[in-house]
Amino acid sequence: MSDSLLQLNGVSLSIYDTPILHDVSLQVSSGSVLGIIGESGSGKSMTAFSIMQLLPAGSELRGSIVFDGVQLDALDETQLCNIRGNDIGMVFQEPMTALNPVQTIGAQVAESIALHKSVSAKEALVQAAAVLERVGLPNKAFPLSRYPHELSGGQRQRVVIAIAVALEPKLLIADEPTTALDVTTQAEILNLLKKLVDESDMAMILITHDLAVVSEVADHLVIMRHGRILDSAPTRQIFNELKHPYTKALYTASSHSPERATQPDTQAPLLELTGLVCEYPVGQRPIFGKRKTFRAVDEVSLAIYAGESVGLVGESGCGKSTLARALLGLSPVKAGQISLRGETLSIDAGFSRAVRREMQVVFQDPYSSFNPRHRVGRLISEPLHVLDSQPSAAELKALIRSTLESVGLDEVDADKYIHEFSGGQRQRIAIARALIIRPALIILDEAVSALDVSVRAQILDLLAELANTHALAYLFISHDLSVVRRITDRVLVMKNGSIVERGDTEQVFASPQNSYTKNLLAAAPQLPATSAQVI
């Protein structure tokens, strides 16, 4: 195609002789959206940085990158600076950290305008205000003098987009722009990006790991793995045919439903909450008087039965993590009652060891929740401290072995350190740590959110299998509705600290009653149907 705006031809990249990209060729034309899909380490972000010519030290780039008739890799730094921000804008994954915390949003948008246009500082601010209006931040509610920390994640992402589109670039590169956002915010940001493309005949490259997200926006898709392009075709064709085995594997993993066979024991609840209230102080302490408090959990009552899998969904800030911490005795409880197997727990004195061994937790980030200086054997045997009698050395070794084997790892892994494992393996280790004292309930706080789809499918299978063999109950906390639908029996929808809807998972997803639940479900991106044979 000669009319394409951007053309990559046989681009290869290595960093300090480690190959990153192999023979990447793709093209984008004005007014269209190219989706680049891949799991972590597939080279999708590095492709973006190659286009921007913003590569880390030690990078060696081969092949040709032609943008708007200009060979980008032949330009010097000054010429590139004139193109970056002016002709190519970029939006990043993490809106919380993508803005300079010590500058106002107005200054940050205006900077980009003043850099590429010869306008006065005052005029740049006027134009910045107009751009912020355009991305949905009306100046009345969001004056230019706001600092990033005074905005929410979605609002910050709008500012980042404003910076990227301030000069009406010909190409916008969005690298996982919605991954860190809630579903409803994600839908708004995707709509905004679509609107910007339609309005100004801009081309966009949307990089994501999420097939459902990209299916709604992109015209053409490129599937990457290990730095190579495996599959490339118009979006509808990709989903219809699922021609390449890896594309099919991704699609299957994204919609993977683990086989679950547990029958919850609905006689008496394992864990029961009545009228639970959690508050925490906010803002600065006034000179006299008490700090203001924020009610994160507002009179929540729920029950979890043995062997049952319960989902808890809601947007960030709705109080789901505070609730989980309160259940574990890690967060102070203001009022209400927690009972385990019919026995009321003392909230104030902290939970006894007998209670603690019944409930374990797996967190989202499998790396930072481990001490990097301990070996895996020690990491996973740590919960054994809550037992009354400690196992002997031989027993401990056998226990570590059997636990590692039950999560699909090997005995020899006990002597390794956590950095030697991949993200999925780390999450297996986190599950092993929770499992080792045979708890009745495991709280999974966004436990699969950071994982690639194929790894996520494996972990979901593992969880389902463990539930079958150990009669485990799960409280599955997530913002990812499609996963919750596939792994839970019942679901609770939380908003502003209260449960607004509850019921059997299938029923709630099929016919939501509460308007908030309806909005959540409507905003969640859907995988398109395929006519290909999916196993």
Partner 1 sequence: MLHYLIKRTLILLATLIVASLVVFVTIEVVPGDPASYMLGLNAQEDTVAALRAELGLDKSRVARYFSWVGGLVTGDFGTSYTYRTPVADMVADRMWVSLPLAIYALLLSTLIAFPAGVYAASRRGGTTDTVVMALTQLGVAIPNFWFAMLLVLLFAINLGWFSAGGFPGWDAGVFQALKSLTLPAIALALPQASILTRVMRSSLLDVLNEDYMRTARAKGLTRRQALWKHALRNAMVPVLTIIGLQFSFLLAGAIIIENVFYLPGLGRLIFQSIASRDLIVVESVVMLLVLAVVLVTFLVDLAYAWVDPRLRGAR
Q: Which residues contact 371 (CB under 8 A, 6 or more apart)?
A: 379, 418
* Type of residue numbered 36: I
Site for partner 1 in 286-325 (CB under 8 A): 286-287
Q: Is 116 in the site for partner 1 (CB under 8 A)?
A: yes
Given a contact cutoff of 8 angstroms between Cβ atoms, the answer to whether 64 and 10 are in contact is yes
DSSP notation for 468-485: HHHT-EEEEEES-HHHHH
Which one of 47, 112, 360, 488 is in contact with partner 1 (CB under 8 A)? 112
Which among 157-165, 182-190, 389-397, 459-467 is the span making contact with partner 1, rule CB under 8 A? 157-165
Task: Tell me how far, at minimum, the Cβ of 47 lies from partner 1, in Å.
Answer: 15
Given a contact cutoff of 8 angstroms between Cβ atoms, the answer to whether 384 and 436 are in contact is yes
Task: Tell me how far, at minimum, the Cβ of 166 lies from partner 1, in Å.
Answer: 9
Phi, psi of 261 (to 5 degrees): -125, 5
Q: Which residues contact 340 (CB under 8 A, 6 or more apart)?
A: 270, 271, 272, 355, 358, 359
Q: Is 149 in the site for partner 1 (CB under 8 A)?
A: yes
Q: Which two tokens stand for residue 89?
A: 């804008």
Query: How many chain residues interact with partner 1 (CB under 8 A)?
Result: 34
Which one of 81, 384, 396, 500 is in contact with partner 1 (CB under 8 A)? 81
| Among 24, 449, 526, CA closest to 239 | 526
Q: Toward partner 1, which CB reaches closer, 165 or 222?
A: 165
Given a contact cutoff of 8 angstroms between Cβ atoms, the answer to whether 400 and 380 are in contact is yes
Site track for partner 1 across 23-52, x = CB under 8 A = -----------------------------x
Task: Tell me how far, at minimum, the Cβ of 147 lies from partner 1, in Å.
Answer: 5
Q: Toward partner 1, which CB reaches closer, 76 or 348?
A: 76
CA atoms within 13 A on the CB side of 18: 10
Q: Toward partner 1, which CB reaches closer, 149 or 236?
A: 149
Residue 29 φ/ψ region, left for φ over 0, alpha for ψ in the -120 to 50 degree band, beta for the rest: beta
Task: Tell me how far, at minimum, the Cβ of 285 lies from partner 1, in Å.
Answer: 8
Which one of 12, 29, 31, 147 is in contact with partner 1 (CB under 8 A)? 147
β pairing state of 490-495 and 309-313: parallel
Task: Tell me how far, at minimum, the Cβ of 86 lies from partner 1, in Å.
Answer: 6
Q: Toward partner 1, which CB reaches closer, 166 or 192?
A: 166
Site track for partner 1 across 164-203, x = CB under 8 A = x---------------------------------------
Q: Is 362 in the site for partner 1 (CB under 8 A)?
A: no
Phi, psi of 159 (to 5 degrees): -65, -45
Distance in Å from the first CA to the final CA of the chain = 36
Q: Toward partner 1, which CB reaches closer, 28 or 442?
A: 28
Which among 73-81, 187-195, 235-243, 431-439 is the span making contact with partner 1, rule CB under 8 A? 73-81
Task: Tell me how far, at minimum, the Cβ of 156 lies from partner 1, in Å.
Answer: 11
Q: Is 349 in the site for partner 1 (CB under 8 A)?
A: no
Q: Toward partner 1, which CB reaches closer, 82 or 371?
A: 82
Q: Is 79 in the site for partner 1 (CB under 8 A)?
A: no
Q: At what angle do helices 105-116 and 153-165 cross, to 10 degrees?
A: 10
Q: Which two tokens stand for residue 248?
A: 């099919």
Which one of 54, 70, 121, 268 is in contact with partner 1 (CB under 8 A)? 54
Task: Tell me how far, at minimum, the Cβ of 107 lies from partner 1, in Å.
Answer: 10
Q: Is 368 in the site for partner 1 (CB under 8 A)?
A: no
Site for partner 1 in 86-105 (CB under 8 A): 86, 89-90, 92, 94, 97-103
Q: Which two tokens stand for residue 273?
A: 């909450």
Q: Toward partner 1, which CB reaches closer, 261 or 287?
A: 287
**Token pair 């196993």: residue:** 535
Phi, psi of 15 (to 5 degrees): -115, 120
DSSP notation for 183-245: HHHHHHHHHHHHHHHHHHT-EEEEEES-HHHHHHH-SEEEEEETTEEEEEEEHHHHHHH--SH
Which one of 38, 85, 269, 377 is in contact with partner 1 (CB under 8 A)? 85
Task: Tell me how far, at minimum, the Cβ of 179 lies from partner 1, in Å.
Answer: 13
Question: In DSSP terms, which residues pair with 27 in a beta bridge?
Answer: 7
Binding site for partner 1 (CB under 8 A): 52, 54, 77-78, 81-86, 89-90, 92, 94, 97-103, 111-112, 115-116, 147, 149, 160, 163-164, 283-284, 286-287
